[in-house]
Structure formats: C-alpha cells, structure tokens
Amino acid sequence: MPIFEYICQECDHRFEAIVLGQKKPACPRCEGKKLQQQISTFAVSGSEKSAPSDDMTAAPCGSCGDPRGPGACSMN
C-alpha cells in the first residue's frame, strides 16, 4: 500500500496518508481537501542475515533508495 506525504494548503499541517485506489485524502486536522503532495523516500530495514554481501553490485546508492545503484535515478 502506498503511503503519501502531504501538506494541507489550508492549515499548513504536514501528514502521511495511505491512499487506496482513486480515493482523495483529507487533512486530519481541518478536513481540508487542498493538499500538496510531497516527494518522499522510503527506508528498508533488515537483519544481518538479509544484508547484501560486498560482492553485490546492485545495491541502493543511499540518497534516494533506487535499487539500480548510484547514478541510476533522476534525482539531483
């Protein structure tokens, strides 16, 4: 399920919302519908057993989390 970050344009409240299908989220503070979606990153955690070994070349670069590796994403 995708989790999106928003800033309400009516009360400046920053929040996250799980958005399913074509549903439109509302601000949990003022119930406003004028929202600005924010660019967000994701984090992955795991145990030592699931950590990649040193010989793996397709690891995230760390700045945006793109699994294709350094320089693969279009973020500056």
Q: Give per-10-residue mean pLDDT for the chain (76 aa).
A: 87 91 90 90 61 49 62 60
7-31: b (≥16 Cβ within 10 Å) or e:
ebeeeeeeeebeeeeeeebbbeeee
Q: How many structural domains does the chain have?
A: 1
| DSSP 8-state assignment for residue 64 | S
For residue 10, being part of any structural domain is answered with: yes
Q: At 53, which amino acid appears? A: S
Q: Domain span at residue 33?
A: 3-40
For residue 48, being part of any structural domain is answered with: no
What SS3 state is found at 68?
coil
For residue 71, being part of any structural domain is answered with: no
Give the neighbor-by-neighbor strand order of the sheet with 35-38: 14-18, 3-8, 35-38
For residue 11, being part of any structural domain is answered with: yes
Paired residues of 16 in beta bridges? 5
Looking at residue 48, its pLDDT comes to 56
Looking at residue 72, its pLDDT comes to 65
Looking at residue 39, its pLDDT comes to 80
Look at residues 20, 24, 49 and name the one whose alpha carbon lies nearest to residue 34.
Answer: 24
